Amino acid sequence: MNISVVIPLLNEEESLPELAAWIERVMLENHLSYEVLFVDDGSRDGSWKIIEGLATQNPNLKGIKFRRNYGKAAALNVGFGNATGDVVITMDADMQDSPDEIPGLYEMIRTGGYDLVSGWKKKRYDPISKTIPTRFYNWTTRRMSGIKLHDFNCGLKAYKNDVIKSIEVYGEMHRYIPVIAKWAGFNRIGEKVVVHRKRKYGKTKYGLDRFLKGYLDLLTINFTARFGKRPMHFFGLLGSLLFILGFIIAGYLAYEKFFLQAFKMTERPLFFFGLLAMILGTQLFVAGFLGEMITRTAADKNQYLVERKLGL
């Protein structure tokens, strides 16, 4: 199969029929074999009934329904696990991503040598309250990750099947799939300018709090990528340095006490700083040791309660 299109959705009953028909037309015009995986992230409207109806008309349409809302990252992760196409395309269900971009993204993966291609909504129809924070967020991510993309959070992306089978997306990490892929060893990452369409149905599911969450998620990814499998390298090193610093301070104060007949050690503020450094150093070292034990025994996979599957 050429393409799997993974579409996470939450309460998008109005847009689904038009989106499914548009994808079908594009695939037939370009003679591409395909499947569409709608992942219903706990919708409370009629989205799942519409998916069931669409699947009876087109056997290439499949669905997964979560028992409750887990978030976009969970929906993508489960969709990736069920995708079988050589190239996997992700897009949003709100009609702001154009299915006409699919053939171009597919060709960049198939013949361009890329592992991952991210869409770049160069011209956006978002309010200024959203575009300015987005630009700052993308600039920060470029500097911290070293990946030269303009739009990390664009939902329209294309992947080699090997990429999506080698990574795990959880929490709010869908914003940083290119970063996760890079840390997994997939360095051939490109981008394509894509059309950003005005919202036709529904309303946005994201508020301003997503920018704070996005920044914290970026710090999490960078930390876990470097030290997730070897926490002792971070906590053990930092703990050792703090303990040594505290030990040097204690030694200096002991020298003053016994050889220079200075004030009592406990009367010096420096004494308490050295004691605190040794205590914190010991705690960090133990935390690193426990982290090493946990990483060797803990399961890596998240579990999501899937209520129904359709065509899978």
Contacts of 128 (CB under 8 A, 6+ apart): none
CB contact at 8 A, 289 and 237: no
Q: Can you give the pLDDT at residue 62? A: 95
Q: Are 265 and 257 in contact (CB under 8 A)?
A: yes
Q: What angle do CA 137, 143, 148 make, to 5 degrees?
A: 90
> CB neighbours (10 Å) of residue 147?
19
The whole-number pLDDT of residue 252 equals 84
Q: Which residues of the chain have pLDDT under 70?
A: 125-130, 201-215, 217-218, 221-222, 224-229, 260-263, 295-304
- Model pTM score: 0.74
pLDDT digits (tens, 9 = 90+) for 149-189: 988 888 899 999 999 999 888 777 788 899 889 888 899 99
* pLDDT reported for residue 203: 66
The one-character DSSP state at 175 is: G
pLDDT given at position 259 = 74
**What pLDDT is stored for residue 47 in this prediction?**
94
Which 8-state DSSP code applies to residue 66? E
